Amino acid sequence: MSNSPAPVADKAPGLTIDGQIVTTSVVNRVINPATGEVFAEVPDAGVEHLEAAVDAARRAAPSWRGLGIAARQDIVRNVVELVRTNIDELAMLVTLEQGKPLAKAAGEIDSGLRGLGRYASTDIPVEIFRDNDDEYIEIHREPVGVVGAITAWNYPLLLALWKIGPALVTGNTIILKPSPLTPVATLRLGELLQQALPAGVLQILSGGDDLGRAMTAHPGINKITFTGSERAGKSIMSGAGPTLKRLTLELGGNDAGIVLDDVDVAAMADDLYWAALSNCGAVCAGLKRLYVPAHLASAIEEALAEVAKTIVVGNGLDEGVDMGPIQNRTQLEKVRGYVDDAVHRGADVYFRGEVPDGPGYFHPVTLVRGVDDTIPLVREEQFGPVLPILTYTDIDDAVERANNSDLGLGASVWSADEQRAVQVANRLEAGTAWVNQHPVLTSDVPFGGVKQSGLGVEQSIHGILEYTNFRVLRVKR
């Protein structure tokens, strides 16, 4: 049982529209997943709030664009310092609404701020395409206009900062909608950033699926950037069609990891464990299914179990906790269903960890063997602290099975032989193929999926340019 109290927000943050903090008569209740209790009530934005937000964003756009990139980057650097000054408060809110340990909540924010710092120092030069006696051609990158951003519940502030940074640097204004399950920290972020940003440059609206659909369809929004499930991504793609919005969609992943037969099992066990089960398994590009050589299966299974035995599951506010709860009851029941179905089909749950007593949405670390590729636990993205382990005897078979998915966000190969691992990794159908790591994301490297894992990329100059339109200046001489 947790010794931590169940904090209740003294004053829930409001919507941010045109530099003002706005409340609503209708509210949504936010649950602390470690206790199952309501800890905050936040505004539920309606159509009138979206209209006001779009109007503010469009009015602010010309002057924000006109500042020029150097001035905008100076402001984004100020944003970084402002958020860093308030990181303890924001991390507490992330832990209360998302469940992860407090140190990892702070780490999430720090990672987002490092990305913002990089965006604030990335140049977007005019490209001189041709300069001769006949013609002069320049290629410019211009802001798309108003960006609508929709984020998921697993990394509320990291995802928000990933989208706010490149949108602002490139001269766009932005309307951001966090998940209705984890809106509090993002709303508070919006309040804080009004100290650094001109009115109308950033609006934060909390609400449910109806608000997201309205954003997607709104003719005053020029681009949607979304992180979430492939089901929701397809809905956004359909809703954006009539207005031909620009889209960046970072969707689900069912990432495979392949362990080769030359590994040092003991040396790689810890990294392999966290590749799969970081953030309570709720990582879009986390390792979701593990293929191991049949003759090494027992050794790998035991090594992973030894790591799992050391993991403390509990309230993220408690000292010494390594993993918090699953963020919401619906997801908890979904993960339980995957495990129960696997057991019904003959799978062996060979390790099941401990969880605290009480009403929180805790699920034990669960390692499963004796499964095949056809069951839902393997075929679908479980997004929880469960890892199915599958065996192979032929590497070509392992690669074929790893690629047998409609999703293609990430994948990994684990080996003592780098050259051999790279050869296998280059055969995997994924946006990122890692070797001896998974998932490692940094703001200087593009990140995106293939197949049904999304459209476009985030991070790096490539991700920044997703927030721009291509414009050619062509001069006859």
Query: Tokens 């309205």, residue?
Result: 214
CB 287 within 8 A of CB 276: yes
Q: If you write DSSP's letter for every residue of 218-269 in order, what string do you get?
A: -TT--EEEEES-HHHHHHHHHHHGGGT-EEEEE----EEEEE-TT--HHHHH
- Long-range pairs of 355-359 with CB within 8 A, sequence gap ≥ 24: 355/313, 355/314, 356/1, 356/2, 356/313, 356/314, 356/315, 357/1, 358/1, 358/2, 358/35, 358/36, 359/35, 359/36, 359/37
CB 257 within 8 A of CB 275: yes
**Residue of 324, 336, 400 whose CA lies nearest to 368:** 336
Query: Tokens 């980057």, residue?
Result: 73
Query: Tokens 């204004």, residue?
Result: 173
| Phi/psi at 330 (5° precision) | -60, -45
Q: Residues 180, 185, 191, 196: is their CA dihedral positive or negative?
A: negative
Residue type, 312: V
CB 349 within 8 A of CB 340: no
- Rounded Cα distance, 182 and 179, in Å: 5
* Interstrand relation of 20-22 and 15-17 (parallel, antiparallel or unpaired): antiparallel
- Per the residue annotation, which of 97, 250, 381, 466 is the catalytic one? 250
| Phi/psi at 135 (5° precision) | -160, 150
Please report, in angstroms and rounded to a whole number, the separation of the first and last CA atoms in the chain. 78
Catalytic residue at 250? Answer: yes
Query: Measured between alpha carbons, how far is residue 253 from residues 261, 449, 452, 463 in Å?
Result: 25, 8, 9, 19
Known catalytic residues?
A: 250
